[in-house]
Structure 1
Amino acid sequence: MIPIQNLYYLLCYAWNRLPEQEQWLTSEATSFHRPLELLGRVLLMGTRRLLRQGLRQAYAEREEELGELRGRVLLETSLSRDLLRRGRAVCTYDELGPDTPFLRVVLGALAQVSRARQVSASLRQELRAVMRLFPADLPPTPLSSHALRAVRRTRPVGHEALLLNVCELLHSSALPEPAADGRTRFMDFRRDERLMAQLFEAFVRNFYRLEQRRFRVLSETISWQAAAEEPGDLSMLPAMITDTTLEAPDRKIILDTKYYRAALRPRYDRQRLISPHLYQLYAYLQNQKKPPSQHLEGILLYPAATREIDLRYTLGGHPVRVVTLDLNQPWPGIAADLLKLIE
């Protein structure tokens, strides 16, 4: 299980933020015992910063029964209520204010975490206190896939993007069945291999993007070196998209991350590599188009769980390394191991 402090670093890089940008939390992370406490504290401190900077305002559409005309009159609704005879009408108009989908979602996240028994009573009180700093008429939006997608489409950046990432992770770790008292229950998302695989992949890619300058770092779509009698048949081939590609004029590394409990599986009383992972990396290497002067290699990277390994092969003429990364060691060791991997 990844220690909470290392989980904090993993999330920072997965969300494309240097830990130094959130230095206020680095020393606190060791005191948390559950991932939910970490997320709740990030949500709290991020919201406080948002309030200090001033809430971003936007135009929101209002619909209201008024005694004077404003904006657009909803004639059918007004007639059905017999309002015009009384000198009133239902109008829709745009009003500038802090009522935005983003702030409603943040309020919804604050409300859910503030009711969770899995966080300390002091943190719940702090979350409720910061909620009272929002306008009283701003309603919270409960976290849902639909609400989060709507906010994501607005393409928030900077600090708002960080808070949206927290909200999305909270939603992913919320259990579908509430507690008996109606409170939202959250699981330890470190046990969700699918979710952790996504975070681990983004963590590794963004770590290299932020912490080294030799390679250009990207996720690359590789074209099949294939032909077909019917050109349209080529579109039926599966897409090849790398987790992380590190590219320099003289060297190119295809790095595939796999978040599995073990890098080896028992077969016929022997431990062997997971064949689909190796086949996938081999396909990436064999379908590369590169300059003759560029050295091409592949890396399969696993988190170290039951056993640490460091295996080196030459496959199809390309060096391939299968290696584990110990996420239980102190953070400086993790960072050093990642940088050493691409030396």
Structure 2
Amino acid sequence: MIKIRNVYYMLAYAYQTLNEASFKSIQAEEFNHIHDLMAAILIRGVKNQVKRGLHRDYKERSDVTGHLRGKIDVTNSVKQNTMIMQKMVCRYDEFSENTQLNQILKTTMQLLIQHGEVNAHNRKELRKVTLFFNHVSTVQPYSINWSAIPYHRNNATYKLLMNICQLVLKGLLMTTDDGEHRMREFLDDQQMHRLYEKFLLSYFKKEYPHFSARASYIEWNVDDDISDFLPAMKSDVTLTHKGKTLIIDAKYYARTMQTHAMFHSKTLISSHLYQMFTYVKNKDRAGSGTVSGVILYAKTDEDITPDHDYQISGNRFSVKTLDLSADWEDIVKQLGAVAGMM
């Protein structure tokens, strides 16, 4: 089980906005539940946003009115026979705070209030900040197209808040057979995998600035320059420094080993090894041996923990685990050992 405080540190690296002064007090708090941590971040973030001003946008409205405005909808006016009341159906734009961003925020806060394991103080604070959303409607959590949310200069400050909302609505929220909402005890593996990858990349960028750290595409080492229909290869983290390259593949799974069905023997997961072998060999086009690869699993409760190094066909391959249930100082040491493979 990952410590709640470690989840906060992972979030702080993944979303650098959490390092701003207004969020610093969260570091000193003790959280017994992941719901409480998410609530604390939203409370501070929404308060900051209220001070800046809630996002507003133009929304088209249609009203039956005797005061003409915008465009007259003649067709619907005739259908509704509004002219006998000396009124018309008018369509017009209204500058409103009832935008998708605010709807997602309100929905998330209400679900945490109603179904989350949130302490009394944070629950009270959530209720206070939702008062600023009286004119904002809620949305169905499963109808949100997260990848289609547009960010620009006027709403960029919402990006952290939307990431936290996504973790809550996709990683914690469940719907029972009778349609009722419930909250998971912890983030589901898919959302934790996403956070784990983002955390590792951001950590190496910040703590090892002398390395070039990025999630880079690896080109296929084709002989005839024809690469049509070949799948894209993108590493989770690629570190480069002084002519050396280390490709890191982040894996957050319930199991780090595979078991032979007949003999019940355990081996490393073959598909993960094949993937890393492909990455390293295509990256090391010259066969120099300066490219290495490490599969970095989040530690599970399995009896056998992968901790192996191999020299295969001139390149170094490693399979390691990161114990996210350890104290943060120990996690820093473990990541330092990974960086030391360069």
TM above 0.5, yes or no, is yes
Aligned to 1:279: 274
Using the alignment, how far apart are the partners of 2:109 and 2:278 within structure 1? 45
Letter in 1 for 2:205: R
More deviation, 252-261/111-120: 111-120
Aligned to 1:299: 294
Letter in 2 for 1:123: N
1:291-330 matches, within 5 Å, as 295-305=290-300, 306=302, 307-330=304-327
1:198 pairs with 2:194: yes
Give the drift of 1:257: 1.1
Equivalent of 1:333, from 330, 335, 341? Answer: 330
TM-score under structure 2 length normalisation: 0.86
Give the drift of 1:162: 0.9
Aligned to 1:165: 163
More deviation, 327-336/158-167: 327-336
Computed over aligned residues only, the root mean square deviation of the Cα atoms, in angstroms, reads 2.8
Letter in 1 for 2:221: Q
Using the alignment, how far apart are the partners of 1:263 and 1:183 within structure 2? 34
More deviation, 79-88/11-20: 11-20
Question: What do the CA deviations read for 1:196-227 (whole angstroms, capped 9, x no partner)?
Answer: 22221111112112222122222222232246
Using the alignment, how far apart are the partners of 1:7 and 1:122 within structure 2? 21
Aligned to 2:7: 7
* Unaligned stretches of 5+ residues in structure 1: none
1:131 pairs with 2:130: yes
Using the alignment, how far apart are the partners of 1:243 and 1:309 within structure 2? 19
Contact between 2:35 and 2:116, CA under 8 Å: does it hold in 1?
A: no
Aligned to 1:213: 209
Using the alignment, how far apart are the partners of 2:45 and 2:18 within structure 1? 15
Using the alignment, how far apart are the partners of 1:195 and 1:117 within structure 2? 18
Letter in 2 for 1:221: Y
**Cα–Cα, structure 1 residues 123 and 184, in superposed 2: closer, same or farther, change >3 Å?**
farther
1:141 pairs with 2:139: yes
Using the alignment, how far apart are the partners of 1:82 and 1:20 within structure 2? 57
Using the alignment, how far apart are the partners of 1:121 and 1:183 within structure 2? 23
**Cα–Cα, structure 1 residues 314 and 147, in superposed 2: closer, same or farther, change >3 Å?**
closer
Contact between 2:61 and 2:91, CA under 8 Å: does it hold in 1?
A: yes
TM-score under structure 1 length normalisation: 0.86
1:1-343 matches, within 5 Å, as 1-17=1-17, 19=19, 22-28=23-29, 30=30, 32-116=31-115, 118-134=117-133, 136-146=134-144, 148-150=146-148, 152-154=149-151, 158-172=156-170, 173-177=172-176, 184-190=181-187, 192-226=188-222, 234-267=227-260, 268=263, 270-288=265-283, 295-305=290-300, 306=302, 307-343=304-340
Give the drift of 1:288: 1.6
Give the drift of 1:117: 5.2
Contact between 2:289 and 2:315, CA under 8 Å: does it hold in 1?
A: no
SS in 2 for 1:169: helix
Contact between 1:216 and 1:246, CA under 8 Å: does it hold in 2?
A: yes
